[in-house]
Amino acid sequence: MKIGIDILGGDFAPSANILGVVQACESLPKGVTFALFGDMHQIKEALQNHNVDFNRIEIIHAPDIITMHDHPTRAIPNKPNSSIAVGFEYLSQKKIDTFASTGNTGAMLVGAIYKINTIPGIIRPCITSVIPNILGGTSLLLDVGSNADCKADVLYQFGVLGSIYSKNIFGLENPKVALLNIGEEESKGNLLTIATHKLLKESDEINFIGNIEGRDIFTGVADVIVCDGFTGNVVLKEAEGIYTLMKKRGIKDEYFDRFNYENYGGTPVLGVKGNVIIGHGISNEKAVKNMLIHSYEIAKSELSSKINQAFN
């Protein structure tokens, strides 16, 4: 298996990404190799300072950077020699098994959809977030930002995608799927959630348990929580904000420590024909290492192929 990574993406690139690769080399099986997309001279010079098996490293020269200020839809065609553009080229040609980046999220989503293509039957691909619950496990929240405006059939598909993810990555046999709403009753919510509830309730593809409210997100009552990307992003940023606030106030708590983004690394783009993983822009080396480990888990589970089978 070969894992590709954008070395130039993220706030602490390239050092954090290179250190993350070094740490991932130590954590993943010997048969796993890495393709590093970025400035070849910069990468070679940085790796000389570390004890790394160069037989497991391929460096692909892609010196241009897609910054956070570049327009997502124009960035890849305007910068064909960028680390993101070249990385997607390798993934589309199956020269790598996964491609991960902590760079421009919009550009990564555009590349995933237009360079790798959406799985037939998928209306809109989405991204997820792992939410630690108070019972010691985790719940999956989707979408968390890639689709701010959704229709009922799109949210329905998020429920199916989340269920497939939970089965194959978390090993849950029959994950409980819930719809995030302002009340538990079927009649509660806006036109979107009422219509979505009806679709989810009538489905025999998933184990739908009904509506849950915001106070239920962290209780473990649901394994998969469905919402539009606008709502999901607000939930995710608030969870991150609470963790940051507790850290600043010197409050140490075993449960809230699990909200540290470094532990989860990144999230796959669900619904595209390849394994694309997006990491947090502020990722340090630990987060990058965990993003690469998650990339390995996604590829090993053949998640993209299983989603393709489910929708076709």
pLDDT band at 211 (very low <50, low <70, confident <90, very high): very high
Q: How many CB atoms lie within 10 A of CB 69?
A: 7
Helix 15-27 vs helix 40-47: angle between axes, to the nearest 10 degrees?
Answer: 60
Of residues 79, 92, 128, 71, the one with CA closest to residue 4: 92
Check pLDDT > 90 for residue 261: no
CA 196, CA 194: separation in Å to the nearest integer?
A: 5
Check pLDDT > 90 for residue 51: no
Q: How many CB atoms lie within 10 A of CB 161?
A: 27
Q: Which residue has the higher pLDDT, 264 or 63?
A: 63
Q: In a 3-state reduction of DSSP, which class is residue 11? A: coil
For the chain, list the domains and their CATH numbers.
2-122+271-311 (3.40.718.10), 128-258 (3.40.718.10)
What DSSP letter does each residue of 212-279 carry, written as one string? E-GGGTTTTS-SEEE--HHHHHHHHHHHHHHHHHHHHTT---TTGGGG-GGGT-EEE-BTBSSEEEEE
Q: What is the mean pLDDT of residues 196-219?
A: 97
Tell me the pLDDT tens digit for each residue of 18-30. 999 999 999 999 9
Where do we find the tokens 């990385």? 87
Q: What is the mean pLDDT of residues 55-63?
A: 96
Mean of pLDDT over the chain: 95
Tell me the pLDDT tens digit for each residue of 123-181. 999 999 999 999 999 999 999 999 999 999 999 999 999 999 999 999 999 999 999 99
User: Burial letters for 111-146: b for 16+ Cβ neighbours within 10 Å, e otherwise?
Assistant: bbbebbebbeebbbbbbbbbbbbeeeebbbbbbbbb
CA 94, CA 116: separation in Å to the nearest integer?
A: 10
pLDDT band at 264 (very low <50, low <70, confident <90, very high): confident
Q: What angle do CA 63, 272, 116 make, to 5 degrees?
A: 40
Q: What is the mean pLDDT of residues 211-228?
A: 97
Check pLDDT > 90 for residue 308: yes
